Chains A and B, each alone.
Chain A
Amino acid sequence: MVAELLQFLFSGVTVGATYALVGLGFAIIYNASQVINFAQGEFVMIAGMSTVTLLNAGIPMPVAILIAVAITIAAGLLLEKLAIEPARDASVVTLIIITIGASIFLRGAAELIWGRGFHSMPAFSGSDPIIIGGAAMLPQSLWVAGATIVIIAVMRWFFTRTLLGKAMLATSYNPLVARLMGINTRFILSLSFGMAAMLGGIAGILIAPISLTYPEVGVMLGLKGFCAAILGGLGNPMGAIAGGLIVGISEALTAGYVSSAYKDAVAFVIILVVLVVMPNGLFGIRGTERV
């Protein structure tokens, strides 16, 4: 009984951590630009695929991972420069369609480069399960959890202790005032895409040994990350992380106790129920609308 529950929790936290990182990317871009980046899931895919290719080329894993993250960050920066910045003052719906176009474009590029097949990636440190309380846990799950905790700590430090992080927060509260205070909001926008790409990329590399990687892998992951960001209250980075964990754990519990067929629906059922009761998410700011 307990072992079973523990087993579901392990897998829930592992997947949830991935959603959390992707959701954090959504929140960061949203804060800098009010844009929802539907190509967020493609960052996950690019990083996973690049790592596999580099490993196959015989490059040692730590170097391969660094290069793959760099490639993903470059993709994020290019996306911002070539597609988002030229349409800066367009309406929100137009910007959403642009990021959807980007996501289709990136998937098309991935199919050209890597083909449509599935690729597997070796785990960071072996795949002999560790037995805890009768439940088996993959060592890779520890890597996922550990890396996520480190990233959250670094992000907290960045947003509360560094000038750049505070400048990003200031931009999210009021871009015009931030600019008047001498903050280069254009740079902040580029930075936000770079950071979101990095987070998505790291998530993609961490989860690839567990879930395989293929050109379409980012679609559902991106949507679940969006779920996480909305669940926690859009624009609230720590909310996105909580949202990701809630989604991941509920999914694992549903798959275990109720029905694995409806696993993917859980995130969306939760989000509908929460939004009906709390239209701004769990930790969203409940402000009054200015007219």
Chain B
Amino acid sequence: MTGFWQPRVGGLLTLALIIAVLPVFLPNAFYFDVVILIGINATICVGLNLLIGYAGQISLGHAGFFGLGAYASAVLTDSAGWPPLLSLLVGAIAIGALAFIVAEPILKLKGHYLAMGTLGLGIIISIALNQEVTITGGPDGMPVATFSVLGWRISDERTWYWIVGGLLLVSTWLTLNLIDSPVGRALRSVHGSEVAAAVTGVDVTRYKVLVFVVSAVLASLSGSLFAHYSGFITPAEAGFGHSIELVTMVVLGGMASTFGAIVGAAILTALPQLLTAFHDFEMLAFGAILMGTMIFMRKGLVPSLIELVKRVRAER
């Protein structure tokens, strides 16, 4: 792939265009709300896809980092009285450090053992958020102050839209650059075969730890923004269900495809809104769609569709 259709150029421009034009088509606050949530989830998924899709390391606990980011912002602005931007940055750094500390022992695990390890980490975080009632307010959740930068208070949907859209664009740009760099090639070699990668001189552990920390920091940043945007958070944001949802977004959209992760996030965030029309059948329909898509499009939506387009073109 060369020229415009290289994802790093064409894809990024397309994404920028969509983000720039989309508000024109959003009739009311409800649609803005859905699109903002899509942007927040997409940012996490772009990072998570680096870990799952490129480095081949599954994580069933990333909602834990999202939840910690959200609570770091909530607690630091509320109890400590710190400015929101400072809380967000301090939270991201602290969670990055936590991810760095746990990354090495956890990423030594392989396959289902790694799935169990990350799952355990996420659940421990979510139980702690549930139980430390004096700090977090427990299962009932806690309110979060309005986001403000240097006295400028941000509370309307449109401003949030541009903030979230900007963060998504920047993280996508950074991710695509990372993938096309020697680091990206090293990551793919780790996915292919860790032993072969190590033999050719790739420091396997270092790269795995690097993407784990990057994805945790992106999740934390998204969590902080989500907390301020929604104004109220509960420990459920850090729960197992949310972790699974995030992995599902990445896999459904298509692993090792940055735009696949964004598409996956968009579909799985919007789908429950559409399915509310089905009332009691909502969960049933959601599960069926999930199974059906994965059975018939094993590589995920975006890679499967790209293959289909290529095949149709080749037949002409």
Taking beta carbons and an 8 Å cutoff, which residues of A are in contact with B? 30, 36, 83, 86-87, 90-94, 96-98, 100-109, 111-112, 219, 223, 226-227, 230, 234, 261-262, 264-265, 267-269, 271-272, 275-276, 279-281, 289, 291
Contact = CB atoms under 8 A, between A and B. Distances in A.
A265 B291 CA distance: 30
Nearest to B285: A108
Nearest to B282: A108
Which DSSP category, helix, strand, loop or mixed, fits chain B's interface?
helix
A109 B255 CA distance: 29
Contact of A101 (B106, B115, B282, B287): B287
B120 interface: yes
A100 B298 CA distance: 15
10 contacts: A93-B58, A104-B287, A107-B283, A108-B287, A111-B280, A112-B281, A234-B112, A262-B127, A272-B117, A279-B108
Interface of B: 52, 58, 105-106, 108-113, 115-117, 119-121, 123-124, 127-128, 131, 193, 195-196, 240, 244, 247-248, 251-252, 255, 280-291, 294-295, 298
Contacts of A94: 251, 294, 298
B250 to A, nearest CB: 9
Contacts of A261: 131
Nearest to B102: A272
A223 B244 contact: no
A36 B131 contact: no
A270 to B, nearest CB: 9
Contacts of A223: 119, 123, 240
A105 B127 contact: no
Given A108-B287, A262-B131, A268 B294 contact: no
Contacts of A289: 195
Closest 6 CB pairs of A and B: A105-B287, A108-B283, A101-B290, A268-B120, A104-B287, A108-B284
A90 B297 CA distance: 10
Given A97-B294, A276-B105, A281 B113 contact: yes
A193 to B, nearest CB: 15
Contacts of A93: 52, 58, 247, 251, 255
B123 A101 contact: no
A226 B116 contact: yes
A94 B284 CA distance: 19
Contact of B248 (A100, A109, A267): A100
B141 to A, nearest CB: 17
Contacts of A262: 127, 131
A283 to B, nearest CB: 13
Contacts of B286: 104-105, 108
A264 B127 contact: yes
Contacts of A219: 240
Contact of A104 (B124, B127, B290, B298): B290
Nearest to B127: A265
A90 B298 contact: yes
Nearest to A106: B287
